[in-house]
């Protein structure tokens, strides 16, 4: 058996069962790693045993939740302390694991242990409001109430879109910083909401850096005068303090999501034309936001040897779509999961799906490493390269805002915070070739083409 699997399945669980203080557990852990040839530190002294984050996304109904749950279960079976978090407001993780609970019981949004080394969490925004959004939701409810809206309705509408994403990011950042888990599996909402989820850190960073201080200082000056002129509620300084505290708790999560040694995305799809198109768009946008897609999981494939006239056309359609998926996403690993004999619920069926999905692969490993971003230097000039598949230059808009580069594709916009080596330079000519957007940076201003 592979030494890595021996360590995870046999030694790691035994170390965690030692009734000793955490520092002694850490000592035993490092000694076993050393004995088995693993070094927790690079030559420069930087620790490398970072928690792993795997994000599952895809069109609604393709099997994201079952794929995420199956992956988490397989990681836990290897001895890795694992949590699977549902970001989708329509949670179904508990149903996937067949937990015997009431229909609307979400354990108040807290994590719950469901097996050895395995926890699940379904974020409950109502429970999190007071904890993280107290002052913000209070002001929004007051603002809506001032328009004549009933108090109860105002409180409901004060839950603005994106709050669930921010709360989920708070937990991910906390678990990562505290190294609570070895693997964090994220079950995202359908594609559009998933993209909002991964774009939230950069959006908040842009707001805090460019708008927040101006708004806060402006309110400090104008609030005393404005209160005499209008009955419309104005945000108190506690509102801005709450936003700042929230941002501090999220600090660093953007770097974590963009670190290709830590985070990767796995896109779940079906072998159907409309679903494949959605997967293409998702892949393109994840590349735009700088995340590595390390696997495409094609779910619910009919067996090719199925002898049935009713399914004959379905099988042919799936095979054509499968060939297209291979062509489109090559060289990203493709994991094929057949239509199983029964619905995938409960640990037995989830484990069966996971074993088919990964075969002899490590489910926690990074299956593909190509970075969507790179910076190249040539004769003193720099070029920023962004991988943008399935796009022509007619659909790409480039602009600068306050010294930052903005890339817009359709309704999605990405603020690219440039590395220090490029921040003092002006973006010049740009070209799109072989699915790679190349933007040159020099001392002279150029035009986009």
pLDDT of residue 420: 67
pLDDT of residue 104: 59
pLDDT of residue 33: 43
pLDDT of residue 62: 96
353-384 core/surface letters (b: 16 or more CB in 10 A; e: else): bbeebbeeebbbebbbeeebbeeeeeeeebbb
pLDDT of residue 351: 96
pLDDT of residue 345: 95
Cα distance between residue 84 and residue 98, in whole Å? 15
Domains along the sequence of the chain with CATH = 3-122+180-188+263-358 (3.40.50.300), 126-171+192-255 (no CATH), 373-442 (2.60.40.790)
pLDDT of residue 40: 39
Per-residue pLDDT of the chain (449 residues; tens, 9 = 90+): 455 555 555 555 555 555 554 444 444 444 444 344 433 333 333 345 789 999 999 999 999 999 999 999 999 999 999 999 998 777 889 899 988 766 555 567 789 999 999 999 998 877 776 676 666 767 667 766 766 666 666 565 556 666 778 888 889 999 999 999 999 999 998 876 777 778 788 777 777 877 888 888 888 888 888 877 777 777 888 888 888 888 888 888 989 998 989 999 999 999 999 999 899 888 888 887 888 999 999 999 998 888 788 888 999 999 999 999 998 888 899 999 999 999 999 999 999 999 999 998 999 999 998 877 777 887 778 888 888 888 887 888 887 766 667 888 877 777 776 666 776 677 778 888 888 888 888 765 444 44
pLDDT of residue 376: 82
């Amino acid at each position: 058996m592979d030494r890595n699997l021996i360590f995870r399945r046999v030694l790691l669980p035994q170390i965690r069962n030692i009734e000793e203080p955490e520092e002694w557990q850490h000592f035993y852990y490092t000694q076993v790693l050393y004995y088995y040839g693993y070094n927790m530190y690079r030559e420069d002294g930087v620790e490398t045993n970072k928690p792993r984050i795997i994000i599952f996304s895809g069109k609604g109904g393709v099997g994201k939740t079952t794929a995420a749950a199956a992956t988490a279960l397989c990681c836990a079976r290897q001895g890795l302390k694992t949590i699977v978090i549902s970001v989708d407001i329509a949670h179904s993780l508990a149903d996937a694991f067949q937990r015997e609970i009431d229909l609307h019981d979400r354990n108040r949004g807290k994590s719950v242990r469901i097996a050895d080394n395995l926890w699940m969490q379904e974020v409950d925004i109502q429970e999190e409001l007071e904890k993280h959004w107290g002052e913000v939701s209070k002001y929004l409810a007051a603002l809506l109430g001032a328009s004549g809206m009933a108090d109860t309705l105002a409180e409901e509408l004060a839950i603005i879109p994106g709050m669930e994403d921010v709360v989920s990011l708070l937990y991910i950042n906390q678990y990562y910083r505290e190294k609570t888990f070895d693997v964090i599996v994220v079950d995202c909402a359908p594609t559009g909401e998933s993209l909002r989820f991964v774009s939230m850190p950069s959006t908040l960073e842009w707001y805090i850096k460019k708008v927040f201080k101006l708004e806060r200082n402006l309110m400090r000056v104008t609030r005393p005068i404005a209160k005499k002129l209008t009955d419309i509620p104005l945000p108190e300084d506690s509102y801005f303090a709450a936003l700042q505290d929230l941002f501090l708790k999220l600090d660093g999560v953007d770097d974590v999501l963009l670190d290709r040694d830590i985070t990767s995305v796995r896109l779940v799809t079906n072998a159907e034309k409309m679903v494949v198109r959605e997967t293409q768009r998702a892949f393109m946008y994840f590349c735009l936001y700088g995340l590595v897609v390390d696997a495409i999981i094609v779910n619910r494939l009919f067996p090719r040897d199925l002898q049935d006239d009713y399914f004959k056309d379905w099988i042919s359609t799936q095979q054509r779509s499968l060939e297209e998926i291979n062509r489109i996403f090559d060289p990203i690993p493709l994991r094929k999961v057949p239509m199983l004999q029964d619905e995938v619920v409960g640990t037995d069926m989830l484990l069966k799906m996971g074993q088919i999905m990964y075969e002899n692969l490590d489910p926690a490993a990074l299956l593909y490493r190509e970075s969507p971003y790179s910076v190249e230097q040539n004769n003193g000039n720099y070029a920023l390269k962004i991988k943008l598949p399935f796009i022509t230059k007619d659909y790409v808009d480039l602009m600068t805002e306050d010294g930052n580069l903005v890339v817009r594709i359709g309704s999605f916009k990405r603020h690219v915070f440039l590395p220090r080596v490029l921040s003092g330079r002006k973006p010049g000519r740009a070209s799109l070739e072989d699915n790679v957007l190349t933007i040159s940076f020099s001392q002279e201003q150029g035009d986009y083409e």
